[in-house]
Chains A and B, each alone.
Chain A
Amino acid sequence: MTKQFALGIFEDEDVLLHAVENVRAAGVKVYDVFSPYPVHGIDDALGIERSRLPIAAFFFGMTGLAFALWMQIYMLGFDWPMIIGGKPHIGLPAFVPVAFELTVFFTCHGMAITFFTITGLYPRFKVPVMDVRATDDKFVMAIELDETSSQFPRLTQLLRENGASEVNQKEMTN
């Protein structure tokens, strides 16, 4: 499916932030903003909600901790108890290092997998890019157009007024 986009190209992050607010204030929906590095403050300007990844990370960590404790207690305490150095079968202090390491292991990998999955980041042979300069030195604001692209002249003017150095139209195929 092809979609039409108006792309406002900006040279500076502050100008971009200003423009995002004004464009949204003018009642235009911003499709996305592409930048070469994280622009602080853009979350508020675009209305991106706070990430729930830290909550997920916490639960991954707890899973790891529970798994590690269960594993050690089950293996050494119940499945195959052995007397090692005359110590109790379930010696919790000795289980702390492995429990800690597995907590970290589960947190890190669980969160990384979640991050790549929910953001839709996965290896592709060809990546559809709006404007190749967005990973170099330009800040790109993309606004979706309808089939006739009738709003394009008006958007061009709006983006220009808010500091876009150029405005392009681009067709994207998903």
Chain B
Amino acid sequence: MATGNFETTIGLEVHVEMQTNSKLMSPSPVHYGDKPNENTNVIDFGYPGVLPVANKGAIEFGMRAALALHATVSPFIRWDRKNYFYPDNPKAYQTTQSQTPLGTNGYLDVTLVDGTVKRVRIKEMHVEEDAGKNTHGADGYSYVDLNRQGTPLIEIVSEPDIASPEEAYAYLEQLRQAILFTGISEAKMQEGQMRADVNISIRPFGSSEYGTKVEMKNINSFNYVRNALIFEEKRQAEVLRSGGVIQQETRRYNEPTKSTILMRVKEGADDYRYFPEPDLAPITIDQTWIQKVADELPKSAGDRQHDYVSNLGIEPYDAEVLTQTLAMSDFYDATVAAGADAKRAANYLIGDVNAFMNKHQIELQDTQLTPAHLAGMIKLIEDGTISTKQAKQVFEAIMAGEEPESFAKKNGLVQISDPVVLLGWITDVLDNNPQSIEDFKGGKDRATGYLIGQLMKMSKGQANPGVMNKMLLEELAKR
């Protein structure tokens, strides 16, 4: 986007925590929300002489991300030490790959607000370690929890192909979805599982050289990224217009004022003194291994949407809602596979199930609903065993983990469509309500409503309304 006579250049480095069972270099569990330092051992504490061994699962998760983003998986990777001192990492270095990224030359096709598709190139992707969590106290001390220390990250470095804050937002959203559908991370923003380092520069239109870039680190909300970039675009344009110079600096986004604040001016490149990690074996990746990981890679959201629309007759908007999370999409697939009508299954998941999740603030996988139970209920509706009204009760039951068919039987939630039974009831009701028959013949439509009410009462709500309506009208005509 242009601000005055300037064009904007944005690059993003996104870190996503990969939800392996164990850490990248230690077997400590990867688990959010446990008591401080519960998931730590001598390796995570950076003790000397521990001889860590890399996690094969983390490499394979990294390969999944690389494949999903159309990157080339490197045939050879080795580890490097990136040295820095900070209490969130007691080793004083991060194990990463500076010379041999796991993935290179990928891309993400981003659908923009106006519907056009923009290809954002991905320069490289690294598997590396996350740091622990530092909390600053008011007492001059910081408090360190190393549970997160060593959690595997995939770092995704884009080329500076992004031209506006809106494009950056769209890229992040769609990158998150692409990652979600690899099954390597739930990428929960509120748990810091996905964070972005942002750099932005502006230059006069037509200029062949990029402007000086300003960096903002570790932003864990897409909205904040967009707001920070909107502010920076304006600030930098104002500096240049008033004849000033943009400094190479690191800034921080401040949400209350929706502005960015100077943290420090950078003098030259950061000096992390990278060197090859001597304690870890290098890794070679052959085609067979890549193929094995490719075979395990879940289908992408785009492919699933296409499948839902073309093969199952789902509306495009509904297909998008169903593919917002991998869990929802997998659940939907399993429900359809269990024999449920595709459209009804989609409606239930998008409507009642989503409402239930929102009301109780839980994820789909944390409910007691199973695809088999949802499919079971839908089949009961489809074959007329229960009415959609009765289905409301059955729905509550299946959300509490009950089996739909036995619940319906146990609670008399069975729809009666048998004409013999229905005719008996209709005859009874008509015989007892001659006035209503008169009213009906006199053209009062209300009369049928009253009669249906009586029939529903008599049948304890079990009469199939469609069949009963039709028969009632036939019987009225005969009188």
Q: Are A and B bound to each other? A: no
Q: Which residues of A are at the interface with B, using a C-beta cutoff of 8 A?
A: none
